[in-house]
Structure 1
């Protein structure tokens, strides 16, 4: 099965980094994503999507992103069921961020008044926990073009 979401939108508020009881960094924020179509009156419709990021990704968002900035989020959609303080059953739909990237150009980000640091260091997620067996260059052999028969 496949559960992958790629979103690009603007942060609706400044993200606030928190830590769990076991000291894991977590951040929750929402982004405004414009739809491709306009409504019946010609107005652009916007969806507000809740995002959750953990560990290094959460720290990266906290350090580099502020309200109004364009962000690209790659992750998976998850639902969560819970009860509110009145005992009503609720469901939340969130995107759990695996990757985040800047949606604005560096020039746009640095030209703004909300720049957090002068020494910009982009975040690069570590490589996925997979290994690929790529043959060395000398493991390939040439195939002769002149075998005389067409294989199809």
Structure 2
């Protein structure tokens, strides 16, 4: 079985491309905290060793367009998919380069809408403590410091036009009566 589930934050904005057959694909890198004790994490940080893994994610089809549209650097998301390995010849050195990516079947946008619509001036600090024992995904071990431009031309605090309905018809509200359907 080849299944992967990750929760992390985007290292940079997603990059959307189209294949020759007009199939959309979005690529981004997800920073996922390594599970370690507070002491080990402090030791790693003091030795300038990474406390997160940086994993390349590929998303295909309409979901790729949504990722490019709604996710930004620093956005938190959950990715479900499969591991895909590959290789290519480096043009400069001629050496074989091996790759490992996650091909996403599902991407869940976590956090608030404004977090996922953040400005391109979004800063993130790694290194806060993470409680791996609970399922509250908003406690991710990252601290966000939003710094928005003061260019206010009919824009709200998050930096996008307040007349835009940025969720358009891509999302619909589902009524929930609180009952489990099975």
Q: Common fold, TM-score beyond 0.5? A: yes
Deviations along 1:61-99, whole A, 9 cap, x unmatched? 011101110011000001011111121011100000000
Q: TM-score, normalized by length of structure 2? A: 0.59
Structure 2: gaps (5+ residues) = 119-156, 173-182
Contact 1:72/1:101 (8 A) holds in 2: yes
Equivalent residues of 2:17, 2:26 under 8 A apart = yes
Once residues 108 and 97 of structure 1 are traced to their aligned partners in structure 2, the CA distance between those partners, rounded to angstroms, is: 21
- Pick from 46, 59, 63 the counterpart of residue 65 of structure 2: 59
Aligned pairs for 1:15-34 within 5 A:
15-34=14-33
Residue in 2 that maps onto 1:89: 96
- The number of aligned residues is 123
Higher percent of residues as strand:
1
CA contact 1:60–1:123 (8 Å) conserved in 2 = no
How far apart are 1:105 and its partner, in Å?
Answer: 3.0
Q: Which residue does the alignment assign to 1:104?
A: 111
TM-score of the aligned structures, taking structure 1 as reference length: 0.70
Give CA deviations for 1:4-49 in whole Å, capped at 9, x if unaligned.
1000111111112110111110111101111121446153711000
2:175 is aligned to: none
Indicate conservation of the 8 Å contact 1:8/1:73, yes or no. Answer: yes
Native 8 Å contact 1:66 1:114 kept in 2: no
User: Which aligned pairs between 1:106-121 and structure 2 lie closer than 5 A?
Assistant: 106=113, 108-109=115-116, 113=158, 118-120=165-167
Highest RCO, 1 vs 2 (Cα 8 Å, sep ≥ 6): 1
Structure (1 or 2) with the larger CA radius of gyration: 1
Cα RMSD for the two superposed structures: 2.5
